[in-house]
Amino acid sequence: MTANLVGERRTFVTHLECSLTGERYEADKLQGLSAAGRPLLVRYDLEAAGGALRREALEARPTDLWRWRELLPVRRTENIISLGEIETPLIPIPRSGGTNVLVKDEGRLPTGSFKARGLVMAVAMAKELGVKRIAMPTNGNAGAALAAYATRAGIETLVLCPSDTPEVNVREIAAQGARVYRVNGLIDECGAIVGIGAAEGLWFDFSTLKEPYRIEGKKTMGLELAAQLGWRLPKAIFYPTGGGTGLIGMWKAFDELEQLGWIGSERPKMFAVQASGCAPIVKAFEDGVEHAERWENAHTVAAGIRVPKAVGDFLILRAVRESGGAALAVEEDDIVRATADSAAMDGLLLCPEGGATLAAYRNALEAGLVSATDDVVLFNCATGLKYPLEDRSAVLDKNALPDLAEL
């Protein structure tokens, strides 16, 4: 197959594929879930892509998300949107984590979270396919990213969030141009309302994995990680898992890189990290099943991973099992402690979901699931500045100064 070429933009997309049945779907047509009710995956002519793009040429490009354009779905240059999606750094945390632990700090992306990766791609494709109105449920950061990119693309947006969503998220969604509603329910209940409106033709449903392209944006985490580590992969990856799009995307990225001949067959152990108050993937992993039951009365300080039921559950579980990894639940106190330790000991302010990965790594180390000599990458999915911080300040009276040595 020859690549489609419009201006300077090349793409090698061949078709979409049901992640459960393998059934093929047309790529250049607006698609939601497959007929089986499961996510669609974008497939590429990787032989042609590899012939058109050499690793050396890629390495010479600016290190942003769009450097990977031959492995991304947007066909026409004019539909690419951007707010500056940089390559996020790998930060060592030797005191709170260990000498071989790196944090991929996704909080450096636009709107302060890794949701920017998925939503920039999904919105660009919505623009390309003529979508005029979008609705989506969110626990916060995804809604903020959608609002920003949809506004940039000129697409009308409606966002529904649980009523206890962090206030800063609710306000930034509204500030960036979306209509936002607080709902007295959890994210999957918000999603059910979005689904009703989509069925009535009021908007296109942008819920996690209910369109094919958020995975393609999120897979750039895996592409980027391989490039940053000199075309090798770490021994283990700890990923905060709600809907699991990024974990699924990275697993897809590693397969595509191997087909290109850029990496070998070795894979990291993938650890899906959840909170003990909302751990449907962990339960399914431990029960040895492929689909997770809805988690009732879900609660956790890490709102981004409070997802009672994920439509891509089987894809998460497959990646975890094939990699030799595990799904791990961490306690609330451990999340809080790990988040505080990273900031106080290494100067890196993690979000609670990022703190959960550090807590999970510590537990995995103690349980012998990983070794202290293993190269490990933890994903911090958002800037810690979006979350309430404990006030540890004291008061100093300028008119009655104490012995300053006591300070």
| Segment 236-256, tens digit of pLDDT | 999 999 999 999 999 999 999
pLDDT tier at 97, thresholds 50, 70, 90: very high
Judged against a pLDDT cut of 80, whether residue 6 lies above it is answered with: no
Quote the mean pLDDT of the chain. Answer: 94
Judged against a pLDDT cut of 50, whether residue 7 lies above it is answered with: no
Structural element, H or E, at residue 104? strand 101-105
Mean pLDDT of 265-287: 97
According to DSSP, the residues that pair with 239 across neighbouring strands are 272
pLDDT tier at 390, thresholds 50, 70, 90: confident
Which of these ranges, 89-93, 220-224, 257-261, 399-403, has the smallest mean pLDDT? Answer: 399-403
Q: What is the pLDDT of residues 152-166, one digit of tens each?
A: 999 999 999 999 998
Judged against a pLDDT cut of 50, whether residue 279 lies above it is answered with: yes
Q: What is the pLDDT of residues 313-338, one digit of tens each?
A: 999 999 999 999 999 999 999 999 99
Q: Which domains does the chain have, with CATH numbers?
A: 4-79 (no CATH), 90-111+214-386 (3.40.50.1100), 115-205 (3.40.50.1100)
Q: What is the pLDDT of residues 43-78, one digit of tens each?
A: 999 999 999 999 999 999 999 999 999 999 999 989
Judged against a pLDDT cut of 70, whether residue 5 lies above it is answered with: no
Q: Tell me if 35 sits within 8 A of 54, measured CB to CB.
A: no
Q: What is the distance between the alpha carbons of residues 74 and 9, in angstroms, rounded to a whole number?
A: 8
Q: 3-class SS at 252? A: helix
* Sign of the CA dihedral running 40, 116, 138, 153: negative
Torsion from C-alpha of 315, 316, 322, 323, nearest 10 degrees = 140
pLDDT tier at 10, thresholds 50, 70, 90: low
Q: Would you state the pLDDT for residue 11?
A: 78
Judged against a pLDDT cut of 50, whether residue 8 lies above it is answered with: no
Q: What is the distance between the alpha carbons of residues 28 and 72, in angstroms, rounded to a whole number?
A: 13
Q: What is the pLDDT of residues 137-150, one digit of tens each?
A: 999 999 999 999 99
Judged against a pLDDT cut of 70, whether residue 107 lies above it is answered with: yes
